[in-house]
Structure 1
Amino acid sequence: MIQPNSNEEIILSSNNEITLLNNSNNNGEINLNGNDSNETTLPDNNIQSSDINKIDLEDSITNTTNSFSSQTIAIPFVGQVFETWDDVDKYLHEYTWQEKFIVIRTRNDRDPPSERTCRRRTYACDHQDTYGPKKSVILENQRNSKSKRTGCPWHVNINFSKKATVISVTSLNINHNHPLDPMTNTYATKNRTLPEAVEREICFYTAEGNLNATIQCRLLSAKFPNITIYPRDLQNLMQKYKVADRQENDASNLLRQLLTKKTEEPGWEVFWEINRETKSLDKVFWMSPEQVQLWMTYHDVILNDNIHKTNQFNMPLSLFTAIDNHFRTRLVAQALVNDETKETYEWLLTSTLQATNHTPRVFITDSDPGMDAAIDSQYSGVYPLHCIYHIFQNLMRNLKAPLGASYNDFVKDFYLCRNDLSPTGFDVQWNKLITMYPKTANYLNSELYSTGISSTSRVESENAVIKNIPQGRPSLCGLVTILDLRLRDEAQYVNYNEWYHANASAQLSGASAECFPEVDRILKKYLTEEMLSRQRHEIIQSLYYCTIMEIVELSDDKQTEKGYDTQQIHLSSLLEDLPPKDIIITYKVQRRNCVHVNFVIILTDRSHLCTCMLLINFGLICRHFWHIFAIDSNAFFHVTLIPRRWYNNEKIQDLHLDEQPYIKRRDYGETFGLARKAVRSAVKAGSESIYHLKKCLNEWSAEEQRLVRIKDNDKENFNPDQVENPIERRQKGRPAVKHFKSSTENKNSKNKCGKCGTIGHYAPTCNK
């Protein structure tokens, strides 16, 4: 180790050489150019250039600072000079590392913005200044906090005047009022800075892999074994890369991006609304050409749900999903809305009609009253269903506290009522339920009785997949990119699945091909691989059934939903709307060694019905019919018994019927029939009725023309650059916690002031 004299200072250059500068020969000035004759250079022979290239990234970064600890760094003094501010930072870093404390920059004066030259800086110990506590009036609300600020006087003032050519120390105080801890170099935040290579890995794992801190810590420890990564530092960096930059024109960029896609490919459907007062984006709905085709093909069952906290503006993301012929959930439409009111849902449903001109047959939602009202007004003739999961959650939220200890008994009776297979039996059980639990009458009659309760929602899984893709809350354009990636992944899976099964090698013929070879050949020709597998399974299962007798006396299976192969509807309910002349024969089918029975009805038109309801609910021919098909010539099979939605893409295109012209002709016929009926009634009533009819038609025609002109002018004069970002609606305080109060909790809690402790007001409104 080299010990310098009092008038000498050690300068470490970048080429691992130690330079001794003699201050006495330079009249108090230090030459840092490396060309002065008074400099003495001592090369470090322990490190060769070839060895330096072999040093690992982690070792080179970790040991850079430690390499200076073996040399003594001179104490700063007044008049000490430096060439650049980087030299100042480097020197102070090495000196503070030696002395075991941390220095921070407390002053940084620069020239005007045109020059931005730094003129004055003050460096101080991180224990400088004193802590100012924030005391509260109520003692129990105060918390003991700790601070490392002790008013340490250590500081160095450095100046770079306009007339000077070097940077010099003008004043300093090198005394501390606290002990110097040797562990500071290890655990201080400033010394825990991770290398750039490690930060790149963390950014990649966070932004692209969505990995949690535990998994990232394991991967980083394996890749950088010589670098210590503390959990707090890792989590801070993860949060840094999760938060996306807020874009000032995010909404206008979103609309411009969607309109560009619509211009390049006319099949795109984009609808939006702008708030006329704030000029901000209110709602936007879009569908790609592939999504429009999927909706038109699989619109018989559509599922809808909203996701929250998916973007920076907290706009709910509304998703519409369907089930394709591979039994996969497909995203068929999406929208960003500003609220969840009836008017917004009506706008969404109207947008789907304008884009596809097809209404679903069954529409499954999450029991939102606004959506229910919108379905009644926009989707006439659609059968709405509520998700069972959301129904149970609403029961728990609304009825658990009023019922208290009797809630569990109520749930059992509620499910017993829900699972009743007869409408008459359901009404009896429902009235009995309200009589036994009168506290639930208002909620059950107003929320549940008018809706169908029979299905769960597959859209929840789609919500989870989409919500797990982004990190934090992305921008609106980033969210559209995420949805495009999801659509691409769905289409890629379908294409791969079709290619895989089309090029699959020959396989052994199963029991279905042995029993019904011609049927199996037709099924293989028309159905997708997934549906073919499910239909073959039903055929194989039919071998385990037997026919008990031809029905003479009707008797239903009373043990519903308590075992395998139970009925889904009573036979009496199935026969209510069937004339006796349309029934050829009814069979009672039972699985061997099973107590449950099902009934198969063969009709005169060669169709059939079964109490398992598989053909109605799922669209596949059940095992009970296949058993009858094997023993009775009256049982008839045709591929059209299976819905077209389960056919492969080739057969769907061959059999595809353009329903849009038919729908237009039907609407035209219905409207013209109403108009003709109105004209006849008006002529029959007299001239006054004719006058009122003409007046109504003229007013309606003028209003429609006015709306068309407004819409056309808005589209022609629309400029996406004028659209402002949506207004972010952020709730006050801490986010709500999902918590269901028990019967023993106090529901009538009152506001309590945090300052004076008085009940009835909050701290911001406190007058004390």
Structure 2
Amino acid sequence: MKGAEVGVATISEDTSAGTRVLDIAPVDESSIARAWPASSSGVPSTHKVSIGDVFETLDQAREKCTEYANCPLGQKSSKHLKFIRFLCFHGGQASTKQFSVSTEIQREKRTLKCQCPFVIKLWLNQASGVYEVYHMNNQHNHDLFTEAELAQMPQNRFIPDKVKTKMLELNELGMLSCSQIKTLIEQEHFPDVPVTWTIRDIQNLLQKSYSRACETNDFVKLLKEKSNHGWSFNFQLNDDTLRLERVFWISPNGKEKYVQFNDVLEIDTTNKTNRFGMPLVLFTVIDNHGLTVLTAGCLLSNEQFESYTWALQQFRSYTNLDPIVLFTDGDMELARAIKDIWPNAIHLLCRFHISQNITRALASSLRANLSEFMTEFWRVGSIEDVDEFEMEFSTLKSKWQAVESYLRVLEGKKKQWAFAYTHNNFVAGVSSTQRQEMVNCQIKSTLLSNLSLLRIIDGFDAVETRSREKLSQARLSTNFAAASMDPLINDALHILTNYAQVLLKAKSGMSLSYTCVADDSKDEGYFLISHKDFPNKFRVVRISIGFVEQSTCSCRKAIWLGIVCRHMLCCFCHNNILSCPVSMFNRRWKKVCETVDIQSIFIDTALATRPNSEFRATQGMTEDQRLSELTALTKPILHRSIGSESTFQFYKASLIVLGETIEINLQTLHRALSDLEEEIVRNPLTARCKGRPKIGNKRYISMAEQLQSKKKQRGVTCSSCRQHGHNARTCKTV
């Protein structure tokens, strides 16, 4: 017999018989009570656990031991659960991992492991089927949890039955979020019941109570109800299975904002918003108050070219306007779709995502020099002059030859991220998709990867509500903005929004630190603007005294931001120009932004060749109200049509075409509504998106990425056989 001493119990093993015998010695329970540490944040629990205690089930043992420990416990067990160990989650030591990345750029992570010795060991008495405690160490070497912290632990959170019933009743109203339900339960319905649940528990309760078999059909019905309030939507089903594959929607506020501010559009895809794994594509614009406005959303079955093309086609059909500048994160499938649908649009890339890609691709090659490379790379990328940028980028490639191949790839896309090229266009001061990422964060704050599709519309509505509140605050700030002491910008401040006013006042203050000198090397009207602390660095400003509004600056901020730069303001003061022309500011920053002319909308609608199946009439109005509204819209058009014979004939023909188009639209609408009422939309299949899946090791690779990798392989030369298309590791001759 061989014996191993374990605390106050001895486990003996008979090697010949292959059996294990457990002998438990008596123990003094007072010594266990004295073993609790004197901690200000933890006290001994009233639930005592001692050696020899018996538990009928493993769940009962886990619950009692957790209550006794006043701390979360982890479980380790032998095969067939014969021996169980409950360990403090602070126990053990954090394993050190070897990284190829330098420690200077590694993320600082703090471990909770402090080798806590607390442990409770149980064994299964197979004769009686109960678990018995045979060893324990109740010492902790860290502060314990308070009662409030223990109440928030998952094993201590629960919702009473009467509270569950009331939560489900409030959820059936269809207009309350989980946080609002929680507030009503705590303050109105059950103020005396102690709160032992969180918002996440309410979400799980509502999700379990919901019938998931028809949730997609309910999602389409919700969009149909939204269409009665001005929303437009369209969806596509699989012809064989009637499962949802794609769905697109756009709100009336989003459509209105896009018509006004279609010069800059951001598109981004986010995941983990629904239990089917369908990627969510969001479209956002920037209004004249500098606020990010969510315009439309789309759920796709995958992130491939065909799906993105369908989404962009739907967005184009409901807005009838093409964007001027687009920002995306560099998705190659999305880039192909943009080039196909909007070939004349200027597609720019997010500089933040470029920085992330550089870090992932070059961290192992540059190691400790990565930070220096990033600083120098973005210094070159921020150069405004094209010739200077080309020269500096060539110097950068020659200096960092270890990553020259990657720099060539970025050089091929330089017109999409380098300021020397992107600042030739108005971008509203945007150089990344961080505004879009902020909207993604707002929507996903109330969503989980296992929630139904209905919650996405709730998140969409929440973002729109928050945008309306911010718009009201921005309008108040614009109306009560204080005037400036600088007469040069006073005229401009009267017509600009508060967002543009703040920027212009900042530029005016900074212009006082600059000096202006006439450029003798050029013709009259050219001036060199330099900072007092950096006299060798200057910008070139050209001013025509008779046409001040045509002035230009080498920084081009008046072009890509739409606001006069500090260099121009300094030059205006030097030349005694008393007021900055308001025409030099982009119209989108004005208080009353110009909208699309009613006449142009009328002509576009009349001459449209394709019917819009999602046309919705105004609901909730009487016949007299509808007649008055249509009369008010057509009255100015009729007055303009009688000016001349040619104008009259043009408007007459347009009205005839418009009448035919409306009739076709109404027929299509009635047919679509009848089909929608009869058709049952089945739940979609789980989508497969890019990136590494939760289960498995192989990640999904898009077709565009596969083509790019094949092109890269063609340029690879094997060091063994000197042939192209493979390397020495995959060479078949070795």
Query: TM-score by structure 1 length?
Result: 0.54
CA-CA distance at 1:365 after TM superposition: 0.5
TM alignment of 1:112-131, pairs within 5 A: none
Residues in 2 aligned to 1:357 and 1:381: alpha-carbon distance in whole angstroms: 15
- What is the root-mean-square deviation of aligned Cα atoms in Å? 5.0
Which one of the candidate residues 464, 481, 490 is aligned to 1:487? 464
Alignment of 1:414 onto 2:383: no
2:426 corresponds in structure 1 to: none
CA-CA distance at 1:398 after TM superposition: 2.5
Letter in 1 for 2:681: V
Residues in 2 aligned to 1:471 and 1:436: alpha-carbon distance in whole angstroms: 46
Letter in 1 for 2:682: E
1:586 corresponds in structure 2 to: 526
CA-CA distance at 1:350 after TM superposition: 1.5
Q: 1:631 to 1:191 in 2, by over 3 A?
A: closer
Which one of the candidate residues 118, 122, 125 is aligned to 1:150? 125
**Cα pair 2:120 2:136 within 8 Å, conserved:** no
Residues in 1 aligned to 2:363 and 2:134: alpha-carbon distance in whole angstroms: 60
Residues in 2 aligned to 1:190 and 1:328: alpha-carbon distance in whole angstroms: 39
Alignment of 1:456 onto 2:432: yes
Alignment of 1:613 onto 2:556: yes
Measured against aligned partners, the alpha-carbon deviations of 1:660-698 in whole angstroms (never above 9, x if no partner) come to: 568799999xxxxxxxxxxxxxxxxxxxxxxxxxxxxxx
Letter in 2 for 1:613: R
Alignment of 1:733 onto 2:695: yes
Measured against aligned partners, the alpha-carbon deviations of 1:274-320 in whole angstroms (never above 9, x if no partner) come to: 12233211111111111001111111111111111011111111111
Q: 1:597 to 1:180 in 2, by over 3 A?
A: closer
Alignment of 1:646 onto 2:566: no
TM alignment of 1:675-714, pairs within 5 A: none
1:332 corresponds in structure 2 to: 295
Letter in 1 for 2:217: S
Measured against aligned partners, the alpha-carbon deviations of 1:30-82 in whole angstroms (never above 9, x if no partner) come to: xxxxxxxxxxxxxxxxxxxxxxxxxxxxxxxxxxx99xxxxxxxxxxxxxxxx
Alignment of 1:602 onto 2:543: yes
1:379 corresponds in structure 2 to: 342
Residues in 2 aligned to 1:193 and 1:480: alpha-carbon distance in whole angstroms: 29
Alignment of 1:345 onto 2:285: no
> How many pairs were matched up?
490
Residues in 1 aligned to 2:513 and 2:682: alpha-carbon distance in whole angstroms: 66
Residues in 1 aligned to 2:57 and 2:82: alpha-carbon distance in whole angstroms: 24
TM alignment of 1:198-597, pairs within 5 A: 208-209=178-179, 240-241=204-205, 245=210, 247-262=212-227, 264-265=228-229, 267-402=230-365, 407=370, 410-435=373-398, 440=403, 442-446=405-409, 449-450=412-413, 451-453=415-417, 454=419, 455-457=431-433, 458-470=435-447, 473-499=450-476, 502=479, 504=480, 509-512=483-486, 515-516=487-488, 520=490, 522-547=491-516, 549-553=517-521, 585-595=525-535, 596-597=537-538
Q: 3-state DSSP class of the match of 1:284?
A: strand
Letter in 2 for 1:426: F
Residues in 2 aligned to 1:461 and 1:385: alpha-carbon distance in whole angstroms: 19
Identity %: 21
Residues in 1 aligned to 2:586 and 2:328: alpha-carbon distance in whole angstroms: 23
Alignment of 1:132 onto 2:59: no
CA-CA distance at 1:354 after TM superposition: 0.8
Residues in 2 aligned to 1:250 and 1:610: alpha-carbon distance in whole angstroms: 57
Letter in 2 for 1:597: F
Q: 3-state DSSP class of the match of 1:271?
A: strand
**Cα pair 2:515 2:532 within 8 Å, conserved:** yes
Q: 1:393 to 1:545 in 2, by over 3 A?
A: closer
Which one of the candidate residues 676, 682, 691 is aligned to 1:724? 682
Residues in 2 aligned to 1:433 and 1:593: alpha-carbon distance in whole angstroms: 27
Letter in 2 for 1:728: T
Residues in 1 aligned to 2:219 and 2:199: alpha-carbon distance in whole angstroms: 31
Residues in 1 aligned to 2:225 and 2:590: alpha-carbon distance in whole angstroms: 34
CA-CA distance at 1:625 after TM superposition: 2.0
TM alignment of 1:41-190, pairs within 5 A: 132=80, 149-151=124-126, 153=128
**Cα pair 2:237 2:244 within 8 Å, conserved:** yes
Q: 3-state DSSP class of the match of 2:213?
A: coil
Q: 1:414 to 1:368 in 2, by over 3 A?
A: same
**Cα pair 1:254 1:477 within 8 Å, conserved:** yes
CA-CA distance at 1:397 after TM superposition: 2.2
Letter in 2 for 1:724: R
**Cα pair 2:539 2:553 within 8 Å, conserved:** yes
**Cα pair 1:253 1:720 within 8 Å, conserved:** no
Q: 1:177 to 1:470 in 2, by over 3 A?
A: closer
Q: Which deviates more from structure 2 when the two are superposed, residues 379-388 or residues 464-473?
A: 464-473
Q: 3-state DSSP class of the match of 1:249?
A: helix
Q: 1:400 to 1:471 in 2, by over 3 A?
A: closer
Residues in 2 aligned to 1:105 and 1:351: alpha-carbon distance in whole angstroms: 56
TM alignment of 1:27-42, pairs within 5 A: none
Measured against aligned partners, the alpha-carbon deviations of 1:463-486 in whole angstroms (never above 9, x if no partner) come to: 222222335642111111111111
Q: 1:593 to 1:283 in 2, by over 3 A?
A: same
CA-CA distance at 1:406 after TM superposition: 5.9
CA-CA distance at 1:447 after TM superposition: 5.7
Residues in 2 aligned to 1:368 and 1:479: alpha-carbon distance in whole angstroms: 23
CA-CA distance at 1:321 after TM superposition: 1.3
**Cα pair 1:131 1:149 within 8 Å, conserved:** no
Letter in 2 for 1:598: R
2:725 corresponds in structure 1 to: none
Residues in 2 aligned to 1:632 and 1:593: alpha-carbon distance in whole angstroms: 22
TM alignment of 1:8-19, pairs within 5 A: none
Query: TM-score by structure 2 length?
Result: 0.56
Residues in 2 aligned to 1:239 and 1:258: alpha-carbon distance in whole angstroms: 22
CA-CA distance at 1:239 after TM superposition: 8.7
**Cα pair 1:304 1:319 within 8 Å, conserved:** yes
Q: 3-state DSSP class of the match of 1:327?
A: coil
Measured against aligned partners, the alpha-carbon deviations of 1:326-362 in whole angstroms (never above 9, x if no partner) come to: 1111112211111111222222221221111122211
Stretches of structure 1 that go unaligned for 5 or more consecutive residues are: 1-64, 67-98, 107-129, 136-143, 155-175, 211-222, 555-579, 669-708, 738-768
CA-CA distance at 1:404 after TM superposition: 5.4
Residues in 1 aligned to 2:404 and 2:123: alpha-carbon distance in whole angstroms: 62
Q: 3-state DSSP class of the match of 1:526?
A: coil
